Amino acid sequence: MKKIFYIFALVIITFTSCDKNEVTIQPEASVSINEHSENNQLLSEYARILAASLNNTEIKQTLKDEALKKFDGDYDILVNKLENIQLGKSTNSFKSILAKNAKSTSGIYKSKSNTSANIDSFFNKIKETFPNLQVSIPIHCENWDTEKFTPMVAFIPVDYDEKTFTEVTAFDTNGNEFKISTKFEPSLPVVVVSISERVDIDGNLISDLPSVTSEVPRNKVAPNTPTSITLKHGQSKSLIIEWGDVLDENGYEVWRMSDGNVFTKISTNPTNENTFIDTNLNPNVKYWYKVRAINSDGSSAWSPIIATTASERNDGETLRMHSMKFTTSALQAVEDWVSGRPEMRLRVIRGSETGASFVFTSGQLRPAWRDDIRNNWWHCEFDICDWNTNVFGTVLTFDWREEDLKYQYEFNVSGSYEDKRDNGTIKSGGTINIKNDPSPDNIGNTTVFWWHPRNKIYDITGFSWYFAQ
């Protein structure tokens, strides 16, 4: 249905007080329709009769109710359906009200005698000539207050061409005739009588019409970038990626890169699923991860890249010392033979950005004889910690010292840590000051990584040890 219309500037719309609940329109000079064809005269007369009937609130409410059903996708009603509708609580039909008001119109269709016979003949002529005639409220239908506002009724001539026509004829309830612009949409409802574009002469919807429903374009908004991304160690050969949930997402993509490769997508998570567990990884291989949110409008920017190295260990498993030994030269360097067996102590430091947060100190480790540890594995089992990586990190510094109980010393011990947010870079930090300790001889220190093989043998220039399996 073609959309219509603003009233010409010459047409003055005047609203009466709210108490009267109506709108009156001052007419301009009457417009001659002598040049209209017979079919257009029929349409014009029907529009005039319908306009006169809009004094009846039930007629107006019926038009609105039927138009809101949108049987063809727009606010249109077939006249054939309207005729027999009963109005509200009354016994009057829609057609009977129109017939009653036809007697009071000017009767411009052929006969000037508005007798019942002529009126019946008129409605039969309408039905025969226009089996797909419709009445519509193409604008402001849903907001139409039928008790307070009475619209004009316009008709679209059979030879209407929207490219050349700039106005159509409309009538008010008193039969006054107006010209309404088709190029400017009015701010109030207008009732329009026309031939349906979507219904055939049998009253059936034309099925092959292309869809005319249009949606108001909206700005496409991709979701925000995931933040607070973390990377944790879980069960053996697995890593856990987590991130903060974002609004307006339909899911997340998780991408991974391993040493020497490129990023590839490994998961598409559903909405609000902001955790992914990557399993069956290769121990001692470093993996990088990044995440982005997605929705129907696109994808967010990438999260920060985060990385660490996979391990065969299970998070939380106990780290336990098993055995240690010296080469002859290494033992001689920390304890002269005249002093006999060595007395040793181990400190384990986890470094962090804010200083050491974990220091383990063993008891004094003393083999019974010097030869027990020289070129021999001396069995000396003790627990260091349950290695929870979210507590102690993935990097531990092992500092070994040979003690001499008659001296007191002060020294510093530094640890290291893994900054996963900086792509898994190993950084130094966490310096600890040890005071009044009998440790003049530094055997040495080394770093133990979470992803080292469980059976790895550690060596510091001739001093070696390994962990219990």
Domain check: are 130 and 71 in the same one? yes
pLDDT given for residue 437 in this prediction: 72
Evaluate whether residue 215 is within a structural domain.
Answer: no
pLDDT given for residue 9 in this prediction: 32
Evaluate whether residue 424 is within a structural domain.
Answer: yes
Domain check: are 262 and 366 in the same one? no
Neighbours of 115 (CB within 10 A): 11
Burial status of residue 183 (CB atoms within 10 A of its CB: 0-12, 13-18, 19 or more): exposed
Nearest in space to 253 (alpha carbons), one of 422, 238, 263, 232:
263
- Helix boundaries (H) for 135-276: none
Domain check: are 88 and 168 in the same one? yes
| Enclosing H/E stretch for 62 | helix 57-67
Domain check: are 159 and 293 in the same one? no
CA distance 52 to 90: 19
Averaged pLDDT score across all residues of the chain: 84
> Coil, strand or helix: which one is 66?
helix
pLDDT over threshold 50, residue 141: yes
User: Is 365 within 8 Å of 328 (Cβ atoms)?
Assistant: no
Nearest in space to 170 (alpha carbons), one of 183, 158, 182, 187:
182
Evaluate whether residue 410 is within a structural domain.
Answer: yes
| Tens digit of each residue's pLDDT (9 = 90 or more) over 27-62 | 433 433 444 578 888 898 999 999 998 988 888 989
Evaluate whether residue 20 is within a structural domain.
Answer: yes
> Coil, strand or helix: which one is 351?
coil
Percent of the chain having pLDDT more than 90? 50
pLDDT given for residue 199 in this prediction: 84
Domain check: are 57 and 167 in the same one? yes
pLDDT given for residue 2 in this prediction: 40
Evaluate whether residue 118 is within a structural domain.
Answer: yes
Domain check: are 71 and 139 in the same one? yes
Q: Token match 């260091």: residue?
A: 384
Domain end among 135, 168, 195: 195
pLDDT given for residue 116 in this prediction: 72
Domain check: are 288 and 325 in the same one? no
Domain end among 309, 332, 363: 309
**Euclidean distance between the first and final Cα of the chain, in Å?**
83
> What b/e readout covers 209-234, taking b as 16+ CB neighbours within 10 angstroms?
eeeeeeeeeeeeebbebbeebebbbb
Q: Which two tokens stand for residue 448?
A: 């133990």
Domain check: are 337 and 303 in the same one? no
| Tens digit of each residue's pLDDT (9 = 90 or more) over 84-126 | 888 766 678 888 888 887 776 656 454 556 677 778 888 888 8
Domain check: are 169 and 265 in the same one? no
Domain check: are 280 and 328 in the same one? no
Domain check: are 52 and 112 in the same one? yes
Evaluate whether residue 218 is within a structural domain.
Answer: no
| Tens digit of each residue's pLDDT (9 = 90 or more) over 308-360 | 999 999 999 999 999 999 999 999 998 888 888 999 999 999 888 776 778 99
Domain check: are 10 and 151 in the same one? yes
User: Is 416 within 8 Å of 399 (Cβ atoms)?
Assistant: no
419 against 219, higher pLDDT: 419
Domain end among 145, 173, 195: 195
Evaluate whether residue 17 is within a structural domain.
Answer: yes
Number of H helices, E strands in the chain: 8, 27
What is the reported pTM? 0.54
Tally the domains of the chain.
Answer: 3
Evaluate whether residue 116 is within a structural domain.
Answer: yes
pLDDT given for residue 106 in this prediction: 57
> Residue 297 belongs to a domain with what CATH number?
2.60.40.10
pLDDT given for residue 27 in this prediction: 41
Range of the structural domain that residue 418 is part of: 318-467
